Amino acid sequence: MELDGLKRCLAELEEKGVTINSLTTDRHPQVEAEMKRQQKFVHYFDTWHVVKGKYHTIAIYHYYMHVVINVMLCPLWI
């Protein structure tokens, strides 16, 4: 769905004579694959989505480390 909308927008811009040098999108896998195939312009990712993905990974790691530490230390408190 996102890819179809992007294709229509790019086609309309090209019809109107707009030259595109670079494009910034979120990290949608279909959009990323299509941009690699086309290689008409430079494709960038929105930094907010990149940071959000990294934060989510760190938050999950932190949660599991917290659980492991509690499991290891709980018997010592009893």
Number of domains in the chain: 1
The pTM score is 0.56
Q: What is the pLDDT along the chain (78 residues), one digit of tens a residue?
A: 788 888 898 899 989 999 888 888 887 888 888 888 887 888 888 777 666 667 767 777 777 777 766 666 666 655
Q: Which two tokens stand for residue 21?
A: 């040098």
pLDDT of residue 32: 82
pLDDT of residue 12: 93
pLDDT of residue 36: 85
8 A C-beta contact, residue 12 and residue 31: no
The Cα 64–Cα 8 span in angstroms is 43
The residues facing 44 across adjacent strands are 24
Count CB atoms within 10 A of the CB of residue 31.
19
Q: Which domain holds residue 39?
A: 2-77
